Each structure stands twice: as C-alpha cells, then as structure tokens.
Amino acid sequence: MPLPTSPVIRRARLGAELRQLRRREALTLEQVCDRLGWASTSKLSRIELGQSRPDLADVLDLLDIYKVPSPARDELIVIARDAATSRGWWKTLGEMSERQRTYAELEAGAADIVEYQPAIVPGLLQTPAYARVLVAAGAQLTPEVDVEAEVRARALRQEVLRRAYPPRYTAVLAEAVCDRGDLPDEVWREQLRHLVAVTGLSHVTVRLLPRGAAGGGLHPLTPYSCYAFPDPADPRTVMLEALTTDVRLATVLDVDRYQRMTEALLAAALSPEETVTVLARRVGE
C-alpha cells in the first residue's frame, strides 16, 4: 500500500525542482512565460514557490521546455500529481480554515511528527470539548471564526493517528499544559484522561517537561511542530505557531536547529511512563 503524501510539501518540492531546471536552461521567468503564452510571470512564480496547486498540463509544458527526459520526467509527473491531489478525505477539507488546512496537509503525508507546546494541548490530541473552549476563546479576536467547523476540523485531522500506517507522533508538553486554568472541571479532566488513553497507541508518545526544566538552557519562544516525510527528498519542515499567522521553515539550517532543540527538550523531559503517572495523578486531584 503506497504511503500518503503531503500536497503542501510536494508543491514545495516540485517548485524547487522546476526552478532548478529553468535555471539550468538559463531561462528567465519572462522567457518561459512568453514561450507558453502565459499573460504574466506570477503564475510561474507561484508554482516555483509552491504557493499554488499545479495543473498537470502546465507542468508537462514546462518539462517540455526544460527538455527533461525519463525517468526524471516520470518522477516529476508523480510529484505534480501528488501536489494537486484531491484523493480520499482531502475533499472534506473545504470547511477548514486556511491555517488548519496547512497543518492537515503536513500531517497527512508525514512519517514523523514532533510537537512542542508550552501552554495548551496540541490539536491532534484535543478532545472536542477542550477544542471548543479554545476556539471559542480565540473567536473573541476573530469573530468570523466558525467555532463548530473548527472543532470538526480538529477531529478530522486526528484521524491521521488512527489510520493504517500512521505517522510516529511525539508531543513534548510543558507541565503548564496540565493546569486547569479557566477550563471547566470536567473538560479539563476529560482532556487529561484522553492524553493518558492516546499513549496506549504504539506510535504516540507524550512527554511532560517539568516546571523549571529546560533543554540545556534552551527555551523555545513559541510552540512549534516538526515534520519528516517518507520520501527523504521531500524537505523536512518546521511550523512556528503565532497569534495571527504561522511561519513555515524548510531550510536545512533552520530545521537542524529545531532538531537540536527538540533533542535537548526530550533529554530534559519526563519519560513516557513518568508522564502517564503524572497525568493520572492530576486527573485524581
């Protein structure tokens, strides 16, 4: 059974490959667009930046201009099809916000996911009631948000952890994540019980970072998520979560820094068994 792919990553890889081929042929954006009869360079620029879903016919035309022979041509056609995919549950993403869709696309094709959260439970591990409280609170800043649609979107994203051939998933959570805060008591307890339950999945690991602990003095300034993919040629990616928008990093230098950060946090965190013990104790408090 073929492993799923991540369209957002395949778009990024396809764009990088096409840009490299164009430069190899010493062609400018304007020259390529003139040959194809495209009205402006913005279309090609967006394809090369991985910002749009490519049309397969357009990719074939570009491969002709760049004189790409098989088997390299065949490989790029497969990548282009993945980048424009509409297979399976992808068709149900219509009601997702753009931010959630980006995460869903990354998660869908990942082989490994590692997330760090200093204050809240990550979306892939949230119960519907917990997610509803968080989304409703955020709606104070963005009133246009459809709370119930966002809650359904989180539930849909979580299916990735229960599919055949799921990604290996690790959540590193600051101990503050376990605090009740303003949550209703039952919502808080249900969420902690759910965290304990998901650790029963062999591919899911939860690690608590005790208060005062840090990875060798390293303190992440924001929540972040790291993604690696089955095809090693697909770029590893880091997402940084912010209030109004998220930042995607894919350079080797940036990703390697977050890899070292993650290793330091894991070294300082409680073991998976210790984490379950602490979570179970908090439920009983």
DSSP E strands: which ranges in the chain? 112-117, 168-174, 204-209, 224-228, 237-241, 246-249
Question: Which residues neighbour 204 within 8 Å (Cβ) at sequence distance 6 or greater?
Answer: 161, 169, 170, 171, 198
Residue 50 pLDDT: 85
Structure tokens at 77: 């056609």
The whole-angstrom separation of Cα 140 and Cα 170 is 31
The whole-angstrom separation of Cα 122 and Cα 120 is 6
- With a threshold of 0.75, does the pTM exceed it? yes
Task: Kindly state the DSSP code that residue 154 receives in the 8-state scheme.
Answer: H
Q: Is 44 left (phi over 0), alpha (psi -120 to 50) or beta?
A: alpha
**205 SS3 class:** strand
Question: Which residues neighbour 111 within 8 Å (Cβ) at sequence distance 6 or greater?
Answer: 3, 167, 168, 228, 229, 230
Q: Look at residues 125, 134, 133, 262 and name the one whose alpha carbon lies nearest to residue 196.
A: 125
Task: Kindly state the DSSP code that residue 251 receives in the 8-state scheme.
Answer: S
Residue 94 pLDDT: 57
Question: How would you write the pLDDT of the chain (285 residues) with one tens digit per residue?
Answer: 455 678 888 888 899 899 999 999 999 999 999 999 998 899 999 999 888 888 999 999 999 999 999 999 999 998 898 887 644 445 555 567 888 888 988 998 899 999 999 999 999 999 999 999 999 998 888 888 889 989 998 998 999 999 988 999 999 999 999 999 899 999 999 999 999 999 999 999 999 999 877 656 777 889 999 999 988 888 899 999 988 889 999 899 999 999 999 999 999 999 999 999 999 999 887
